[in-house]
């Protein structure tokens, strides 16, 4: 895949309609996205879950975009499969990781935005993103 294609796809994903999550704090993101653990979803739950997964996809594409720019060639992580089931499992792991990361932190020590917290948790969960 050409770098131009990777940049275009990443840019479009980042501009998807998931922008207001960046106004959430990390704890608000965890509270709102804990819907992923429900066994049955209402229409509202499904909409919130789709939103949370969209935020995760947008943040992941931002990391991939940045790594591609830094390396000067397309960065394709080898530790992640982008199927829908994998994103649902990743969302569960992400919320759990963020819960553990924020446990015992004062509000001042918490990342300012959900975006920063999601990016930190993704880097912990998917070490291939750091390589």
**Contacts of residue 117, Cβ cutoff 8 Å, sequence gap at least 6:** 26, 29, 98, 101, 102, 110, 111
Please tell me the least confidently modeled range out of 22-31, 73-82, 86-95, 99-108. Answer: 99-108
Predicted confidence band of residue 106 (pLDDT cuts 50, 70, 90): very low
The two structure tokens encoding residue 43: 């229409």
* Helix 114-125 and helix 26-33, axial crossing angle in degrees, nearest 10: 70
**Contacts of residue 95, Cβ cutoff 8 Å, sequence gap at least 6:** 30, 33, 34, 36, 37
Domain range spanning residue 23? Answer: 3-129
Predicted confidence band of residue 93 (pLDDT cuts 50, 70, 90): very high
**SS3 letters across 22-46:** HHCCHHHHHHHHHHHHCCCCCHHHH
Q: How many domains, in total, are found in the chain? A: 1
- pLDDT tens digits along 13-39: 554 444 455 567 788 888 999 999 988
* Helix 43-71 and helix 114-125, axial crossing angle in degrees, nearest 10: 70
pLDDT of res. 95: 92
Secondary structure letter of residue 104 according to DSSP = T
pLDDT of res. 11: 52
pLDDT of res. 102: 66
């Amino acid at each position: 895949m050409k770098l131009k294609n990777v940049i275009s796809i990443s840019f479009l994903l980042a501009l998807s309609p998931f922008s207001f999550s960046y106004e959430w704090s990390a704890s608000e993101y965890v509270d709102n996205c804990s819907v992923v653990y429900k066994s049955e979803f209402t229409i509202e739950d499904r909409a919130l879950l789709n939103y949370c997964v969209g935020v995760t996809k947008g943040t992941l594409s931002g990391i991939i975009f940045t790594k591609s720019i830094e390396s000067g060639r397309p960065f394709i992580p080898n530790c992640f499969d982008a199927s829908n089931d994998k994103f649902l499992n990743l969302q569960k792991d992400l919320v759990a990781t963020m819960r553990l990361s924020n446990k015992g932190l004062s509000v001042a020590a918490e990342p300012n935005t959900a975006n920063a917290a999601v990016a930190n948790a993704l880097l912990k969960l998917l070490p291939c993103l750091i390589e």
